[in-house]
């Protein structure tokens, strides 16, 4: 059931909730119970989507609101699929690989296990922090477009001069082959990082004699203790060639150099075919595509009679520099990319440890304990049967306090905690800081918890903290000036407890251990 990413992604698409793939992938792969229905449920909750796991009979499936996630069993393996529509005897949705399907009722019910995850989109459903991630993606897209644009400009300015030499067609063909080779070799490198990627598997599998993994992972195709592979060598070759052609498109010295280089790797082509045919007895489709690019390179150079010219040493030196640099770059980059997958495993294990109530309680009892009563201090947001009593000591103009507020508010809404907010006033009762605290306390004194929560949300969600705008939205009739005693009581309490920074969080009378974040509170006792 490791297809949680496809299922959750399709649900978000069907519910028309914008999301970023990197955030979704990270949340799924770092979940303590990955892969499971609980993983999907918890991740959906982060998007403010309500979920309800069910085990229902076949006759009740039509009553489940669409879309939903279902569990199926195919060839003895369990997968998650996304069901989008039921029309009579026709079932539509997306399978475990994210591919659209439309099957008959009988065919679907034969594979369905009866497990359903019903989902409901809330009014405020969204990915947390998506604006920053979308901005980053826009910048990346802009830079990529700039890269393509300047490559086209380089080719465009050099093209007229090149056509006058009589080698324009040969250079254009060689550049096209280099770029295709760059894409294919990039796919081979991608396979080294993610062997289970559906795109790679779809291309490499099929037939008893076809198996990219067997060929590329064999000892014959590994060098320098597996630091150098066919994929990294091919990528370095095509990367250096493509870059030189783009930057020296009008130079006649480039073609002879590449012609002799392509001839020099002819033995590599022969050895690769020999090993695949007689030693490994398996074929790698990606390797064959690369061979299918290298051979036309040699044929093109031969047809244009480029071999009559010698290698240009400066061009060869530039090629060698780019080749070695890209090879070294991959040698250093690959362990970092490999470690990313291991990082998800470490994150899952860490979350399991942090969710253990015994470990949490042990660390909590060792942390700083509150010595003075907090009764009637600040603002109290209560629930009927909370799991924890949480105190947040905060400053209305504190950036980290603003970031912590939505997390705590969500825990209050879910009934997990009671939240007491104690403000850390300045010494002066007349400054803007004290006025803001007094105004929030005045709103709370009206006795309407919903209005108090709304006011807190509006204040902490505002990018620019403007007290005048806030005061106009929540007008008071002298109540703001009646909060001096409460301000003094909070200031006295903070001084006695030695509060030095905000936010400071206390759980059941003890300070939240530094190993834990506010988001961790919900997961304690969960897994």
Q: Which of 156, 75, 70 is nearest to 119 (CA)?
A: 70
Q: Is the pLDDT of residue 208 over 50?
A: yes
Predicted pLDDT at 494: 94
Domain count for the chain: 3
Q: Is the pLDDT of residue 110 over 80?
A: yes
- The 10s digit of each residue's pLDDT in 297-329 is 888 877 777 777 788 888 889 899 999 999 999
* Rounded percentage of the chain residues whose pLDDT exceeds 70: 90
> Which residues lie below 8 Å from residue 40, measured CB to CB, with a gap of 6+?
4, 7, 8, 51, 69, 80, 117
- Integer Cα distance of 16 and 474 in angstroms: 34
Whether residue 64 sits in one domain with residue 173:
no
CATH number of the domain encompassing residue 288: 1.20.1440
> Which residues lie below 8 Å from residue 32, measured CB to CB, with a gap of 6+?
348, 349, 351, 352, 355, 523, 527
Handedness of CA 36, 37, 41, 47 (dihedral sign): positive
Of the listed ranges 119-128, 159-168, 174-183, the one predicted with least confidence: 159-168
Q: 3-class SS at 33? A: coil
Q: Is the pLDDT of residue 380 over 80?
A: yes
Between 386 and 165, the higher pLDDT residue = 386
Whether residue 234 sits in one domain with residue 192:
yes
φ/ψ (deg, to 5) at 390: -115, 135
Whether residue 332 sits in one domain with residue 194:
yes
In DSSP terms, 467 is beta-bridged to: none
Whether residue 333 sits in one domain with residue 184:
yes
Predicted pLDDT at 271: 85
Handedness of CA 85, 90, 92, 96 (dihedral sign): positive
Predicted pLDDT at 429: 53
Predicted pLDDT at 1: 45
Whether residue 327 sits in one domain with residue 203:
yes
- The 10s digit of each residue's pLDDT in 86-99 is 988 899 999 988 88
Whether residue 287 sits in one domain with residue 190:
yes
Q: Is the pLDDT of residue 286 over 90?
A: no
**Mean pLDDT, residues 130-153 taken together:** 85
Indicate whether 134 belongs to any domain: no
Indicate whether 156 belongs to any domain: no
CATH number of the domain encompassing residue 434: 3.40.30.10
Q: Which of 484, 376, 373 is nearest to 427 (CA)?
A: 484
Indicate whether 141 belongs to any domain: no
Last residue of a domain, one of 97, 121, 145: 121
Between 491 and 430, the higher pLDDT residue = 491
Last residue of a domain, one of 90, 121, 152: 121
Q: Is the pLDDT of residue 44 over 90?
A: yes
φ/ψ (deg, to 5) at 284: -105, 115
Whether residue 273 sits in one domain with residue 195:
yes
Task: Kindly report the pTM of this predicted structure.
Answer: 0.67
Predicted pLDDT at 369: 94
Domain range spanning residue 440? Answer: 369-524
Q: 3-class SS at 486? A: helix
- The 10s digit of each residue's pLDDT in 215-266 is 777 776 666 566 688 888 889 999 998 888 887 766 667 778 888 888 888 8
- The 10s digit of each residue's pLDDT in 324-350 is 999 999 888 888 887 777 788 888 888
* 280, 220 contact by CB (below 8 A): yes
**Mean pLDDT, residues 365-375 taken together:** 93
Indicate whether 170 belongs to any domain: yes
* Rounded percentage of the chain residues whose pLDDT exceeds 90: 37
Predicted pLDDT at 357: 87
Indicate whether 347 belongs to any domain: no
Q: Could you give the residue ranges of the DSSP H alpha helices within 164-284? A: 168-193, 198-204, 212-216, 230-247, 254-264, 266-274
Whether residue 278 sits in one domain with residue 171:
yes
Q: Which of 85, 131, 333, 126 is nearest to 232 (CA)?
A: 333
Q: Is the pLDDT of residue 10 over 90?
A: yes
Indicate whether 137 belongs to any domain: no
Whether residue 420 sits in one domain with residue 301:
no
Whether residue 333 sits in one domain with residue 202:
yes
**Mean pLDDT, residues 180-185 taken together:** 89
Predicted pLDDT at 490: 94
- Integer Cα distance of 366 and 316 in angstroms: 66
Q: How far is CA 166 from CA 13, 245, 262, 304, 306, in A?
A: 52, 16, 21, 9, 11
Between 162 and 433, the higher pLDDT residue = 433
Last residue of a domain, one of 63, 97, 121: 121
Indicate whether 148 belongs to any domain: no
Whether residue 306 sits in one domain with residue 401:
no
**Mean pLDDT, residues 19-37 taken together:** 90
* 351, 516 contact by CB (below 8 A): no
CATH number of the domain encompassing residue 74: 3.90.70.10
Whether residue 376 sits in one domain with residue 327:
no
- Integer Cα distance of 329 and 345 in angstroms: 26
Q: Is the pLDDT of residue 270 over 90?
A: no
Highest mean pLDDT (candidates 66-70, 266-270, 499-503): 66-70
Predicted pLDDT at 223: 66
Predicted pLDDT at 16: 94
Between 120 and 336, the higher pLDDT residue = 120
Indicate whether 112 belongs to any domain: yes
Q: How far is CA 312 from CA 255, 337, 379, in A?
A: 9, 37, 78
Q: Is the pLDDT of residue 519 over 70?
A: yes
Write out the DSSP string of 502-525: S-EEEETTEEPPTT--TTHHHHTT
Q: What is the mean pLDDT of the chain?
A: 86
Of the listed ranges 4-8, 100-104, 216-220, 491-495, the one predicted with least confidence: 216-220
């Amino acid at each position: 059931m490791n297809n949680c990413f496809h299922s959750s992604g399709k649900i978000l698409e069907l519910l028309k909730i914008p999301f970023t793939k990197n955030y979704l992938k990270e949340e799924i792969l770092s979940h303590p119970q990955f892969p499971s229905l609980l993983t999907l449920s918890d991740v959906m909750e982060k998007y403010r989507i309500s979920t309800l796991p069910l085990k229902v009979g076949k006759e009740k499936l039509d009553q489940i609101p669409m879309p939903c996630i279902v569990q199926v069993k195919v060839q003895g393996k369990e997968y998650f699929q996304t069901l989008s529509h039921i029309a009579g005897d026709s079932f539509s949705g997306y399978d475990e690989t994210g591919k659209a399907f439309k099957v008959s009722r009988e065919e679907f019910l034969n594979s369905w296990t009866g497990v359903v995850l019903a989902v409901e989109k809330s009014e405020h459903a969204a990915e947390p922090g998506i604006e920053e991630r979308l901005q980053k993606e826009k910048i990346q897209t802009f830079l990529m477009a700039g890269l393509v644009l300047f490559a086209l400009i380089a080719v465009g300015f050099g093209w007229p001069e090149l056509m006058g030499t009589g080698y324009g067609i040969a250079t254009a063909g060689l550049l096209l082959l280099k770029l295709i080779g760059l894409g294919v070799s990039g796919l081979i490198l991608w396979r080294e990082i993610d062997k289970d990627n559906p795109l790679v598997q779809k291309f490499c599998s099929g037939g008893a004699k076809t198996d990219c993994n067997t060929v590329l992972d064999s000892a014959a195709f590994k060098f320098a203790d597996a630091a150098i592979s066919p994929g990294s060598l091919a990528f370095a070759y095509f990367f250096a060639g493509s870059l030189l052609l783009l930057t020296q498109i009008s130079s006649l010295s480039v073609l002879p150099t590449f012609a002799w280089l392509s001839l020099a790797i002819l033995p590599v082509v022969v050895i690769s075919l020999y090993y695949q045919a007689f030693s490994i007895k398996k074929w790698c489709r990606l390797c064959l595509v690369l061979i299918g690019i290298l051979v036309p390179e040699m044929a093109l150079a031969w047809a244009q009679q480029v071999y009559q010219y010698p290698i240009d040493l400066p061009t060869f030196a530039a090629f060698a520099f780019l080749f070695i640099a890209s090879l070294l770059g991959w040698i250093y980059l690959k362990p970092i990319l490999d470690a990313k997958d291991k990082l998800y495993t470490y994150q899952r294990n860490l979350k399991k440890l942090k969710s253990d109530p015994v470990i949490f309680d042990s660390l909590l009892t060792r942390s700083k304990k509150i010595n003075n009563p907090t009764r009637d201090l600040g603002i109290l947001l209560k629930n009927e049967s909370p799991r924890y009593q949480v105190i947040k000591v905060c400053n209305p103009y504190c950036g980290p306090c603003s970031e912590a507020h939505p997390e705590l508010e969500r825990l209050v809404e879910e009934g997990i905690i009671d939240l007491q907010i104690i403000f850390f006033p300045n010494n002066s009762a007349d400054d803007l800081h004290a006025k803001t605290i007094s105004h929030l306390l005045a709103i709370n004194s009206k006795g309407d918890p919903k209005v108090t929560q709304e006011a807190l949300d509006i204040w902490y969600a505002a990018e620019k903290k403007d007290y005048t705008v806030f005061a106009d939205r929540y007008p008071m009739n002298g109540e703001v000036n009646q909060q001096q005693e409460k301000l003094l009581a909070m200031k006295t309490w903070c001084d006695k407890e030695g509060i030095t920074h905000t936010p400071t969080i206390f759980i059941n009378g003890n300070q939240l251990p530094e190993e834990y974040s506010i988001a961790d509170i919900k997961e304690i006792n969960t897994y």
